[in-house]
Structure 1
C-alpha cells in the first residue's frame, strides 16, 4: 500500500529538516560501534571490577571468549503499581541469558515517580524534570563499557521517554523495552469520574472517594486508563523497539513471562556478538518517529507526548515539531475509544483487537511506515500479528481483521472521527495544544471572559467563594517549564467537569500540562511562549474575552490592539520553590527549553543547533496538501 501523500510529505520534511543533525548523530554512534564490544578493551583492573560480584559461570564468560552481556536498566520500585512487577525481572533475565550461554547484569536503576501520587502536590514540580534525570541516569548505567545489548524495565509517564533518551545516547547498543502489563479491570472509569465530580461538588465524602479510587487502582500493573503510561507502550511498538503485542498482557501470567523470555533471547541475537545486529540509533529514524505520532493520534493518546516525543526525536538527531504532529492528526483518523476518550479500559481495548488491529488498519491505509527495521525480523507487518502461547514460547498468527467491539475499536473506513485526537491552536496568545478526542463536538468552541489565576489552588478558592462567572475560561499561568517545572493540573479536571455538567460553558488555558488522563472540558495546554518567558498569557487581565475554537485551531484574546500594547506583564506571584526538593532543580528551570522544543533541561542529541528554530510555515508551501487534508482518506491509494 502506498503512503498517504501528506503522511509521506511530513516524513520527507522531517528528514530534510533533520539532515545535518541526523548525520552528526549517526556518525557518533558509528564511531562507538566501530570500536567493537568495549568490554574486551577494558584494562584488567577495569574488567575485574566489572565481574567481581558475579558467580563462577558468569565470571568465566565475562573474562573469557566474547559472549553477549545484556545491560539491564530498571525503574523498579514497589510504590508504583506499574513497576512493582519488575522486582523479580532481573533474576529471571539473568537466568534466561545464562541458559542461552550469555550473561546479564543490572547496569543501574533510574528514579520512577508516580504522577498519580504527586497530583496537586509540590512533588509534581519535579515530575517533568525527572525525565531528564532518568535519561542521565540511564547514560551513567551504560557508561561502564560492559554491555553488548540492553533491555529496559520501565512503563510510566516520564520514565519511558527518559529511558529512550538515555538509550539513544548509546545508540550503537541494541535495545529492547520490556513492559510489565496493566492491572486487571477495576470499577468502570466512568463511575470513578462521577464520584470525583460529586466530591468536587461537596456531594460525596472523602471515605466514598477513597473507596472508589482504591477499587480503581487495586493491584500491580499500570493504571488501566489510556494515559501517558499506556500511550508509551503503543508508541514503543509503533517504533518497533518492543516485541509485537507485548504491551497489554497482565502481570503474573504465563504469556507475560514468555514475552520477557523472548525479549532476552532477541536482545542476544541483535547484539554485535549475535547474528542480526540492530543498534537502537539506526532503528529509530524519522519514519519510526512518524509511526509513533500516527499511533498516538489513532488511539487518542496522551498530550504529554507532544513534549516527550519532540525530546526523544532530538536525541536521535531528528527535529520533530508541533506542526508535524498537527498535520498528521488531521489525516490520521481516531480508531479507538479508551478512557478518557471513551468508557473502555486498556484490557477491553486489547480484547477488542488492540494494537495489532490498529497497526494493520494504519498500514493498509498508508498511514504508517511498514518498511522500518524493528527489533524483530519482518518489520512492522509483524506488529499486526497476534501472540499465542505454545508451551513456554510465543507463536504469532495473523491478527484480527475485524474489531471484536466496535464501541472501542473501529476501522479506518468507519472511524470514530476522521481526524486524530490532537489539534494545534494558534493565535495572539501563542501556540498551544488541545486534545479534541476527549471533548464532545458541542463543547469544542467557547467565547467567554477570562478568570486569571497563577495557581490551580486559587481557582478552587474562587469556586468555594462562589466568585466564578457562569461561563468562563480559566487561565492558569506561570505553570510552564521555566516557571515551576510544568506540573500537571489534572486536579482541576473534576471541578471544571462538574461545572460543565451544570450547563455552564468552561475551558482551561494554561502554559502548564494537564495530564494523559485529560478529561472532557476544552483545554488549551502547553501554551508557548510561557508566561515566565514574557509570553502573552502574562498580559491577560481578568474579564478579557477569550475565544477558543478547537475545530478551527484558533485561540484569541479579543482585546483591542492598542490596549494590548499598553499593558505590562503581570508578576509571577508564586512563592520561591525552596522546599520538597524543588530547590535542587533551580538549574533545570533556568535552562529548560520551551515546551514545543521538548522542555529539555539537558543537552540532547548531537552538538548542533541547525534546524532548532525551524519556521515550518514559512519554509514550505502547504497548499499542495490542503486538498488531501480536506478529504483525508480519498487519496490514500494515490
Structure 2
C-alpha cells in the first residue's frame, strides 16, 4: 500500500490545525448532547407518553427504554422523482428495526425542492437557502430527544447537505444516510444536448423539446446525469456514511431493499450502549471531509459542492476553503468521465465499477485517507467492494481488478487527466472556481470584452437578438446569496454552447451558481465578494476586457486602475415578489461568503457559540 501523498497529508494537517479550536468546541458540544442533553433518559413521564402514544405494537419497546429507537428524517414527496421511492421506506425501516430488537419512528419531514423543476424560474431564488431550511427542519425533528440513532432519507442537491448540517448538531447520534438510487437510463445524453441547442437556435419547437426531456427524465429515481444529487451520493460513500456501494442501485430492486435493511441493522449495532459506538460527529472529521473533496475531484463532480462541502465541514467544527480544494485538485487524477464530462450516465458509471472502483484506486495510490471511522466497516478499503445478491442474500463481492468499461473509469496509473479539474481563480475581481474537466484545454483561457447583465433572462434576449455573436465574457451579476439567494444559471448553457460551437471564445463570469451539471463552456462561478455590497463585479461595464484563465488561476479586468477606482458600483435591480422569496429576506441579509458555505444559519451559530 502506497504512503499517503504528501500534498494530501499537508492539506489535511493544515485543515486540522486551522480547525482545532472550533473542532474542540464542537466535540464538547456533542458530548454534552449525549450525556446531559437530547436523550430519552432526560424526558419526564409526560414527555415520554407523548412520544410513544401512537406507536402501536412498538409502544412497549419504546416505553421500556431498553432498545434503540431510530429517528427517521425523510425528504419524501412524490413530485420529486428522486424522493418518490421514499414513500414506503418508513414501513420498511420499522420492519428491519424490529428484526434486531429496535424501533423506528418518523421524527419529521424536510422540504425537498427540485432544481430540475425550478431551473431558470423564479422559484430557483429559494433553492440554495432550502438547504438551511432543511437543516433547521432536521434539527426540529431530532430535538424531541426520543432517539438513539438517526436514518436520513435524502438524495438531491440541497437536501443531503441540509440533512447533514442539521444532524451534525446532534452529532452524538449514530447516523446513516439511506439513498434510493437513480432512475434507469433514458434518452442518450448527446441527443438531449443536441435537441436543447436546436431549441435555443429556434430550429425545433417546444413539443420536440418536451418529448426529449420526457425521455430523459422518465421515472422514479435520481436524474442520471452526474450533477449535485449524484455527487452527493458519491461523497457520502467517500465519507463512509452509506452502506458500502449503496449510492447507485436503482429503486424498486431487491438489492436496493436489502441495502436499506442492512443500513437499519447496522445502525442498531453502533449505538452508545454497545462496544462499537460510532457517532456522526466523530465519523465526520477532517479526514472524512478531505476524502469527500478528493472523491469530488476524482470523479468530476458538481461545482455546487465548493459551497456545500465547506458548509458541512463548518457544521462539524471544521474549516476548509477553496485553496484547500484547489491544492487537492492539483494532485488528484480524474478517474471517471460521467455525463456531462463524458457520454455515459451514473448507471453506466456504476456498471463500470463506480464509486467502489474509484475508492480502491485512490487508496492504493495513496490518494485517500483509509483510516476514517465509517458507519459500516473497520477498513475503509471494504468500500471498494460491490454489493450483490447471492441466493437472495446481500453480500459484498471482491474488488474488481480491471474496470468493466475503460471509457467510464480508469486506474490511477492511467487517468483521464492528471488533475481533478477544479480550479481556483483569483484576481482583481475576487475569488471564484471553475470546473474544467469537461472544458477543452484550448478554452481554459478566455480574454474578451465583457457584456454585463443583471438578469439571466436578459442574456437570453441578447442571444436571440444576435447581440452576443462575438468573442465575449458574459457577466451575470447580482446573483449572489445576499442578492437573490444565488440561483443556478443552468438555462444559459444551451445558448452559450451554441455561441461556442459557432467558433466564438465564450466564458461566463458570475457571482451566482452555474449547475452541478457544468459542462463544456468555461464558467467562472461563485465569484466572491458578490456584487451586492460593492464587490468588484459591480463595477464592470460593457466592453471592459476581462481575462478568465484556469491555467494561471486568474480572474481580472484589464482596466486602468485610476479609472477603475473612480467608478461607482452598479445598483442592484429591485427584487421581484412572486414566489415567496421575501420570506427568505432574513437569510439573504445574514448569509456569509460562498467560500464559507453561503449559510446564514451557520454564520449565526458561529456568532452564538464562538
TM class, shorter-length? over 0.9
Q: 1:572–1:479: structure 2 CA closer, same or farther, 3 Å change rule? A: same
- Label 1:605 to 1:381 Cα distance change in 2 as closer, same or farther (>3 A): farther
Q: Distance in 1 between matches of 2:418 and 2:605?
A: 37
In structure 2, list runs of 5 or more residues that go unmatched.
none
Aligned to 1:567: 567
Q: Once the two structures are superposed, what CA deviation does each residue of 1:149-170 show, in whole Å capped at 9, x if it has no partner?
A: 1101000000000000001000
RMSD: 1.4
Alignment pair present for 1:548 and 2:548: yes
1:106-185 mapped onto 2 (5 Å cutoff)? 106-185=106-185
Q: How does 1:151-300 map to 2 (within 5 A)?
A: 151-300=151-300
1:47-446 matches, cutoff 5 A: 47-55=48-56, 57-446=57-446
Q: Matched residues in 2 for 1:230 and 1:546: separation?
A: 33
The match for 2:8 is 7
Shift of 1:606: 6.6
How many angstroms does 1:42 deviate by? 1.0
Counterpart secondary structure, 1:249 = coil
Bigger relative contact order, structure 1 or 2 (CA pairs below 8 A, ≥6 apart): 1
> Could you tell me which residue of structure 2 aligns to residue 521 of structure 1?
521
**What does residue 599 of structure 1 align with?**
598
Q: 2:28 maps to which residue?
A: 27
Work out the CA distance in 2 between the residues paired with 1:399 and 1:248.
17
How far apart, CA to CA, are the structure 1 residues paired with 2:603 and 2:97?
32
Contact 2:332 2:419 in 1 (8 A): yes
| C-alpha displacement of 1:342 | 0.7
User: Following the alignment from structure 2 to structure 1, what is the Cα–Cα distance between the partners of residues 519 and 602?
Assistant: 33
CA offset digits 1:112-166 (Å, max 9, x no partner) = 0000000111100000000000000000000110001110100000000000000
CA–CA distance in 1 between the matches of 2:471 and 2:18? 43
- SS for the counterpart of 2:367 is coil
Distance in structure 1 (CA, Å) of the matches to 2:188 and 2:13: 43
Report the Cα distance in structure 2 between the residues aligned to 1:384 and 1:212, rounded to whole angstroms.
36
Q: Following the alignment from structure 1 to structure 2, what is the Cα–Cα distance between the partners of residues 503 and 572?
A: 33
1:301-348 deviations in whole A, cap 9, x for unaligned? 000000001000000000010100000001001111001111110000
Q: Give the aligned partner of residue 616 of structure 1.
A: none
Secondary structure, aligned partner of 1:144: coil
Provide the C-alpha distance between the structure 1 equivalents of 2:406 and 2:377, rounded to a whole number of angstroms.
Answer: 31
Q: State the 1:392 CA deviation.
A: 4.2
> Does 362-371 or 466-475 show the bigger shift?
466-475
Q: Do the aligned partners of residues 4 and 606 (structure 1) sit closer, same or farther apart at CA in structure 2, a change above 3 Å counting?
A: farther
Question: Is residue 314–residue 602 contact of structure 2 (8 Å, CA) maintained in 1?
Answer: no
Give distance in 1, aligned partners of 2:189 and 2:416: 20
Number of equivalences: 609
Verify the 8 A CA contact 2:591 2:603 in the aligned structure 1. Answer: no
CA distance in 1, matches of 2:356, 2:399: 6
Q: Bigger CA drift: 125-134 or 558-567?
A: 558-567
* Secondary structure class of the residue paired with 2:589: helix
The CA distance in 2 between the partners of 1:606 and 1:520, in whole Å, is: 38
In 2: Cα distance, 1:467 partner to 1:171 partner: 53
Cα pair 1:21 1:608 within 8 Å, conserved: no
Task: Quote how far apart the aligned CAs of 1:34 are.
Answer: 2.2
Hey, what does 1:633 align to over in structure 2?
Answer: none
How big is the shift at 1:570?
1.0
The question of whether the paired residues in 1 share the 8 Å contact of 2:592 and 2:603 is answered with no
1:576 CA drift (Å) = 2.1
1:577 correspondence with 2:591: no
1:398/1:609 Cα in 2 relative to 1: closer, same or farther (>3 Å)? Answer: farther
Q: Distance in 1 between matches of 2:457 and 2:27?
A: 47
- Whether the 8 Å contact between 2:38 and 2:144 is mirrored in structure 1 is no
How many Å apart are 1:470 and its aligned residue?
1.2
Say which SS state the counterpart of residue 90 (structure 2) adopts.
Answer: helix
**Could you tell me how far apart the structure 2 residues matched to 1:518 and 1:325 are?**
17
CA distance in structure 1 between the aligned counterparts of 2:40 and 2:393, rounded to whole angstroms: 31
| Cα distance in 2 between the residues matched to 1:60 and 1:550 | 62
In structure 2, what is the equivalent of residue 626 of structure 1? none
* Alignment-derived partner of residue 46 in structure 1: 47
Question: Are residues 1:590 and 2:589 paired?
Answer: yes
Equivalent residue, structure 2, for 1:500: 500
Structure 2 CA distance, aligned partners of 1:430 and 1:94? 50
Q: 1:636 matched to which residue of 2?
A: none
In structure 1, what is the Cα distance between the partners aligned to 2:604 and 2:461? Answer: 44
Secondary structure, aligned partner of 1:395: strand
1:615 matched residue in structure 2: none
Q: Find the aligned partners of 1:538 and 1:207 in 2 and give their Cα distance.
A: 39
How far is 1:469 from its partner? 4.3
Q: Normalization by structure 1: what TM-score? A: 0.94
Once the two structures are TM-superposed, the CA of residue 389 in structure 1 deviates from its matched residue by 1.0
Q: In structure 1, what is the Cα distance between the partners aligned to 2:115 and 2:7?
A: 36
